[in-house]
């Protein structure tokens, strides 16, 4: 028997030049665990290697097949048991699923969404709709139904209709794997109809809501606007946001396997929690009249801003509240300055318009009457280390003439006679130093010094509107108190709130705050204020033909960063008809760049326009006797507080037409009084700076020099 060579054990080495023969094999006894199998061990004896023998056993084909069948049956059994387990589990889930399984299935099958209710509308006092939420469609494209070869044509057509770049439209049409791609939100219904007219089933519409302000910028600062989330940001939209927005509804909609909505929202779903409708005291006709008057101020004087507010004297209703510049809530831009409601937010030094309230306080305290004489010290009065002056000196005048001539000295003496506690308490009773409570967001309260800390000179300057601040809205309600016979009404902007069923949810009736001064005191102050608009007063431009006007002008230096500047704030407040007041009006002009800075020049004409048109709208008949009286159109000069008798501007200053358009030619005003010089230069837009008193001794630039509007003119009087 030949010996086989194991493939795992190398054979014996052979050396060059000699031969090596294996040694004799040594048998190794089998161990008991070898089950009779013989094992041999290779060992080295000298240079010889022992090779173990291999016992080869070959299985039959029947044994191999038997083992394969066994394994197959084993795998089949395992898979069968697994499938049986899955079936049992599936049956269990179908018959009695767990809460967790149901919740997970609902999340995949149902979509939970929060539905915002239709926002309530806003109306004016006569039921005219000012703001409404309208249904507007969103344009959606389903890329699955877009023919790829048709994308260039469709993108051009759709881009033209929606005013979108064709590339942007094409990009959304090519979004594979998506069934929903918004193209445009809140489009006009006519635009949406053009999209549907294309006849492409890839485009469909979704209903959405848009806030629509019916008359663009009319009463924009009162109404305010909402943001993209539907939250009120300013104005009534914010103040009444909880009523206008209604309540949110949590709904569930089914989705198909692609994630698209199966259920559509119905109008019933939206109406079920619709917001409430709010009715305001605003009269849109008077509001439009007021805004038109402010536009006139803007065109004539180019101010930084202008404000006006109209109050119903007997009810305290706000009939109009306007600002310029203004904005369109339908198209909000980035100009935040134009959105500022200055009537409510801007507290500035009121100036001389505060004097009627000082006079009313002194009269009501029994200190004086309107006919009591008061010495105005010929225009110069020293108080401690300070000196108070009137630009046009007066000697002894009546308390009523303190209002007519706008005497700082007379007003200061009245305040000092009352004392700080009494006088400041009276100002608080008129509503100064605290918000009016109109309900508009961010209302300023103004500032008045504390009685225990105010100095005598500060009390004196407060009496004529310096060193304290007030908003135009505060002035309007304080003025309406005098016009209403001394009774102060609580401000009212909202009259009624209706729910979605038309049932009143809130009704706000006119409410009396309390009596501030007696009826007789109010009547005396009214007589004094009437003289302001008559011949010799400071506001003849505020006259309204056929009606007697009671008013007061004011011109204050503007304060910025705690310091007085050259800019002025002109104002006029008044009520008409003076004998039976219907409306109180306040007009404020902030830093006019062209023309006069005096309230009697820039604000009084706007007051007259508002009063005339508003009385006509309200049906208040003019007095025929007053129509027959000669209309007084003499120039005004509130800064001096004087009766104006100087010739009009055109007689003294002419526009130079031959000097390359440089502007005005300064006249020779040598020897003029302060009043005459200022009246001559009013309306030119020049910044007049005065030094000294008496007669004009020098002026710079010199007479005859051409100067543009805005140039500073220094006048020295001796």
Asked if 321 and 309 touch (Cβ cutoff 8 Å), the reply is yes
Asked if 399 and 374 touch (Cβ cutoff 8 Å), the reply is yes
Asked if 544 and 604 touch (Cβ cutoff 8 Å), the reply is no
Q: Take residue 637 and report the two structure tokens written for it.
A: 């000069």
Dihedral angle, C-alpha 66, 67, 70, 75, nearest 10 °: -140
Cis preceding linkage at 495, omega within 30: no
The backbone torsions φ and ψ at residue 114, rounded to the nearest 5 degrees and listed phi first, read -100, 120
Cα separation, 475 vs 227, in Å, equals 32
Q: Take residue 405 and report the two structure tokens written for it.
A: 């001539």
Cα separation, 225 vs 331, in Å, equals 10
| Cα 29–Cα 32–Cα 33 angle in degrees, nearest 5 | 115
Distance of CA 32 to the CA centre of its chain: 102
**Burial level of 115, CB count in 10 A (0-12/13-18/19+)?**
middle
**What is the per-residue DSSP string for 18-82?**
S----------PPPGGGTT-------EETTEE-----------HHHHHHHHHHHHHHHHHHHHHH
Cα separation, 184 vs 164, in Å, equals 9
Q: Any idea which residues carry the catalytic annotation?
A: 352
Helix (H, G, I), strand (E, B) or coil at 575: strand
Alpha carbon distances (Å) from 662 to 310, 654, 702, 707: 40, 12, 15, 6
Beta strands in 503-549 (DSSP E): 504-507, 512-515
Cα separation, 446 vs 555, in Å, equals 18
The backbone torsions φ and ψ at residue 692, rounded to the nearest 5 degrees and listed phi first, read 85, -170
The backbone torsions φ and ψ at residue 669, rounded to the nearest 5 degrees and listed phi first, read -105, 20
């Amino acid at each position: 028997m030949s010996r086989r060579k194991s493939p795992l054990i190398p054979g014996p080495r052979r050396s060059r030049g000699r031969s090596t023969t294996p040694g004799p094999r040594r048998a190794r006894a089998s161990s008991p665990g070898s089950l009779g199998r013989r094992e041999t061990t290779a060992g080295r004896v000298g240079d010889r290697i022992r090779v173990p023998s291999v016992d080869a056993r070959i299985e039959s084909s029947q044994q191999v097949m038997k083992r394969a069948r066994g394994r197959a049956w084993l795998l089949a059994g395992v898979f069968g048991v697994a499938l049986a387990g899955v079936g049992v589990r599936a049956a269990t889930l179908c018959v009695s699923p767990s809460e967790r399984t149901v919740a997970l299935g609902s999340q995949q099958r149902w979509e939970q969404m929060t539905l915002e209710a239709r926002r309530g509308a806003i109306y004016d006092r006569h039921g005219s709709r000012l703001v409404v939420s309208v249904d507007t469609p969103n344009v959606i494209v389903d890329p699955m139904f877009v023919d790829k070869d048709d994308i260039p044509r469709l993108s051009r057509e759709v881009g033209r209709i929606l005013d979108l770049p064709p590339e942007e439209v094409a990009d959304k049409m090519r979004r594979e794997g998506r069934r929903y791609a918004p193209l445009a939100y809140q489009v006009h219904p006519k635009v949406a109809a053009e999209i549907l007219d294309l006849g492409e089933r890839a485009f469909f519409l979704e209903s959405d809501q848009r806030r629509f302000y019916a008359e663009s910028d009319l009463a924009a600062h009162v109404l305010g606007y909402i943001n993209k989330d539907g939250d009120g940001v300013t104005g009534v939209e914010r103040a009444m946001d909880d009523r206008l927005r209604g309540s949110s509804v949590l709904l569930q909609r089914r989705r198909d396997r692609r994630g698209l909505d199966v259920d559509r929202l119905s109008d019933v779903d939206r109406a079920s929690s619709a917001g409430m409708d709010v009715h305001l005291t605003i009269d849109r006709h008077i509001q439009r009249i007021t805004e038109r008057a402010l536009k006139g101020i803007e065109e004539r004087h180019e101010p930084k801003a202008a404000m006006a507010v109209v109050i119903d004297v007997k009810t305290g209703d706000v009939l109009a509240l306007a600002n310029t510049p203004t904005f369109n809530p339908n198209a909000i831009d980035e100009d935040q300055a134009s959105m500022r409601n200055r009537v409510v937010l801007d507290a500035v030094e009121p100036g001389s318009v505060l004097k009627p309230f000082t006079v009313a306080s002194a009269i009501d305290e029994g200190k004086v009457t309107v006919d009591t004489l008061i010495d105005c010290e010929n225009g110069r009065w020293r108080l401690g280390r300070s000196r108070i002056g009137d630009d046009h000196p007066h000697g002894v005048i009546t308390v009523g003439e303190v209002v007519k001539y706008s005497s700082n000295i007379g007003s200061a003496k009245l305040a000092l006679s009352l004392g700080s506690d009494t006088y400041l308490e009276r100002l608080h009773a008129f509503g100064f130093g605290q918000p009016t409570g109109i309900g508009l967001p961010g209302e300023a309260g103004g500032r008045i010094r504390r009685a225990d800390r105010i100095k005598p000179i500060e009390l004196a300057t407060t009496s004529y509107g310096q060193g304290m601040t007030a908003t135009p809205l505060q002035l309007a309600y304080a003025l309406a108190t005098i016009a209403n016979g001394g009774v102060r009404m609580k401000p009212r902007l909202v009259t009624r709130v209706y729910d979605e069923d038309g049932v009143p949810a809130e009704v706000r009736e006119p409410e009396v705050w309390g009596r501030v001064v007696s009826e007789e005191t109010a009547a005396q102050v009214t007589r004094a204020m009437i003289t302001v608009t008559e011949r010799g007063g400071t506001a003849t431009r505020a006259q309204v033909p056929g009606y007697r006007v009671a008013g007061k002008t004011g011109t204050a230096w503007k304060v910025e960063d705690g310091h007085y500047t050259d800019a002025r704030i002109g104002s006029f407040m008044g009520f008409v008809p003076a004998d039976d007041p219907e409306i109180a009006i306040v007009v404020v002009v902030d830093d006019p760049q062209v023309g006069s800075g005096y309230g009697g020049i820039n604000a009084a004409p706007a007051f007259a326009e508002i009063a005339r048109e508003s009385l006509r709208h309200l049906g208040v008949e003019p007095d025929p006797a007053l129509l027959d009286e000669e209309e007084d159109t003499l120039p005004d000069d509130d800064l001096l507080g004087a009766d104006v008798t100087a010739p009009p501007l055109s007689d003294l200053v002419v526009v130079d037409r031959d000097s390359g358009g440089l502007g005005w030619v300064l006249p020779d005003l040598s020897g003029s009084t302060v009043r005459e010089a200022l009246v001559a230069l009013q309306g030119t837009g020049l910044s007049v700076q005065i030094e000294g008193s008496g007669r004009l001794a020098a002026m710079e630039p010199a007479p005859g020099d051409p100067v543009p509007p805005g140039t500073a003119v220094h006048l020295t009087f001796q």
